[in-house]
Amino acid sequence: MTYKAPTCVLFRPNQKFQSFGYEARDYYKNNPNKEDLTKWFYFEHFKMMLYKEKDELSKDTWLVESINVEGNSAKKMKAVDVFAAVIEFFKGHFLKALQVSHGDCVINQTGGLGDSSSKTKTRKFCNDDVHWVLTVPAILDLKAKQFMRDAAEKAGISTDQLSLALEPEAASIHCRQQPVGVEQTGGYKAIASMKEGDKYIVFDQGGGTTDITVHEVKGPNSVKEIHQACGGHWGGITVNGEFYKFLVRLLGGFVINDVKKHHSDAYFELMYNFEHAKICFKEDTDKTTIRIPVAWLETYKKSTRQELIDVIPQTNFKNQIELKHGKMRINHNPFALFL
């Protein structure tokens, strides 16, 4: 568990929103109600589509489901519907939390927010009481930003209620509001103690993209971008993509497709196991261990009529990986290639 929920969302066969984040991932993985999930829609890392499809992105762009089996007709939904559903989920989540923490809001007779008095009345917080801010990577172009506005409008947020903010700017302002105990450490000032006119570089590396921007402090709660943002598709999921390529070389694409088709829970479980190993990577150890779900080993044996443990010594990976008790141990030299 981390402070950042995984970017994944689950839809029912009728394309109605079911869940987001850990709840979506765990439901799809565990299938507690034993439903036919082959008819459901599951999307992971869909935010990267804004960058990959930026030249042709529109309200008519389609988003292909994450667990796409080669050779099968891909399940897909309108991308704007996927984004709108997630925005609407967070909107409802926030309004519910706001209601719990603040109760009724106080309004005056003219309809504006005001202090409690004999001329005021109370009502529930609603969408119209909030000005919403959506953050976007700094390297996105105007088409991607317009796409986000369209998705927000579809989620019930009108144009006059919405502002788009660049992620590095939002992160910058957040960091500047954090208390610091020391004005200067090691010759460098903490960002929170910077004064108007000070300049600094923001290196924002997330799951999908890396944004590099240069900011200048303009006031207590404002910053100015003084150099055009640069960056690219160099986020953490790029490493996961390299691991997937490694699995194709080791097992064969037909084995992976078979696992996707018949054991989707095992497919995602291995991806999550790798994600955990990546996050916990330590240079002071010789090997990294990744647990391989039984379904992978059984599918490999069924497809090739061989045991993976016997095949590995015959491959180019013989001195780099070993398989013991359902766990793959990878020497750090090749594992570092994924990082």
Per-residue pLDDT tens digits for 243-287: 999 999 999 989 998 998 888 889 988 988 998 888 888 877 888
Most confident of 4-8, 93-97, 232-236, 298-302: 298-302
The confidence score (pLDDT) of residue 309 equals 93
Query: What letter does residue 7 receive in the DSSP assignment?
Result: S
- Least confident range from 47-56, 66-75, 121-130, 135-144: namely 66-75
- Could you tell me which residues come within 8 angstroms of residue 204 by beta carbon, excluding any fewer than 6 positions away? 138, 167, 168, 171, 210, 211, 212, 213, 231
237-251 vs 264-279: helix crossing angle, rounded to 10: 120
As a whole number of angstroms, the distance between CA 339 and CA 335 comes to 7
**Pick from 264, 326, 324: nearest CA to 293:** 326
* Helices and strands (H, E) in the chain, number of each type: 11, 17
- Could you tell me which residues come within 8 angstroms of residue 150 by beta carbon, excluding any fewer than 6 positions away? 59, 80
Cut 0.85: pTM above it: no
As a whole number of angstroms, the distance between CA 332 and CA 328 comes to 12
Pairing of strands 287-291, 222-232: unpaired
Q: Where are the domains of the chain?
A: 8-84, 237-338
Q: Does residue 180 surpass a pLDDT of 80?
A: no
Q: Does residue 327 surpass a pLDDT of 50?
A: yes
